[in-house]
Amino acid sequence: MSSQKIFLFDFDGVIVDGMHEYWHSSLLACEKYLNSHCISVNQKLYKTVPNSFKEIRPWVKYGWEMILIVHEIIKTENPLKSDNKDDFINNYHHNCQKILNDNSWNAEDLQKILDKSRQFQIDKDFKSWVNLHNPFFEVISFMQELKKRQIKAGIITTKGGIFAEKILKQLNIFPEFIFGYESGTKIKIAEKLTKTYEILGFIEDRKKTLIDIKQNSETSHIPCFLADWGYLKESDKNKLSNEIKLLKLDSIQELVAI
């Protein structure tokens, strides 16, 4: 058995802040591919990310949910706004499901049009698409430090792997692997990786994912770090079990400073 050391990273909210890209790509998907009669897309909408979208982002697990949220925000009748978002959030999964049903959509199709929207922008103006992402430079330099120490870095994301790869390449980061949503659930991927690698840590901004890792007997030994700088719900920081450590951006280097 190999004992190659590795750190695992989530992508969105951990390595990059892609808020503008999520809004832009989901809005473009609504405009170009969704065919909904409930919306009309005005070009001004692309300029600013509404607060309601930023506020709901911590509840999002998969990209397709963002299309649905953007659709609700830009609806001409009864749009989702900051002041009525709590009802939506309080029953988040049920509401997403209901909107899918009401519109006769399915998650796979929405995910496909999000990927299509990204690919459209990449083909049209790659640089502009990349520039919608803001990397967390402390994380990038931590990844470079890992490389110096011959510790690998691996990415597990719910984004399409190809899109994460394109952005990382621009940042001059070439991880050992990138597993996107097409590779299965994070927990199953982590289970497999424990057979090949010595996992020094998993840095993720979705608390539920880390809880699942800790509750699975095959992966419970993986040190789990909740990225304080990511898309967290207010309550995530308060009720942390002591198995999951809250990690601050300015102390990320300490994970390898021995």
Residue numbers at the binding site for Mg ion (CB under 5 A): 10, 12-13, 205
Shortest distance, position 227 Cβ to Mg ion, whole Å: 8
Cα torsion 111, 237, 177, 143 to 10°: value is 130
**Contact of 144 with 152, CB cutoff 8 Å:** no
Residue number with CB closer to Mg ion (34 or 60): 60
Residue number with CB closer to Mg ion (81 or 233): 233
Quick one: tokens of 121?
Answer: 């922008």
Residue number with CB closer to Mg ion (39 or 139): 139
For residue 115, count other CB atoms closer than 10 A to its CB: 21
∠ Cα 97 239 90 (to 5°)? 25
Shortest distance, position 194 Cβ to Mg ion, whole Å: 21
Shortest distance, position 191 Cβ to Mg ion, whole Å: 20
Residue number with CB closer to Mg ion (55 or 198): 55
Which residue has the CB atom at the shortest distance from Mg ion?
13
Quick one: tokens of 100?
Answer: 């899918």
Write out the H or E segment, with its range, that includes residue 4. Answer: strand 4-9
Shortest distance, position 67 Cβ to Mg ion, whole Å: 17
Question: What sign does the dihedral 4-15-167-211 (CA atoms) show?
Answer: positive
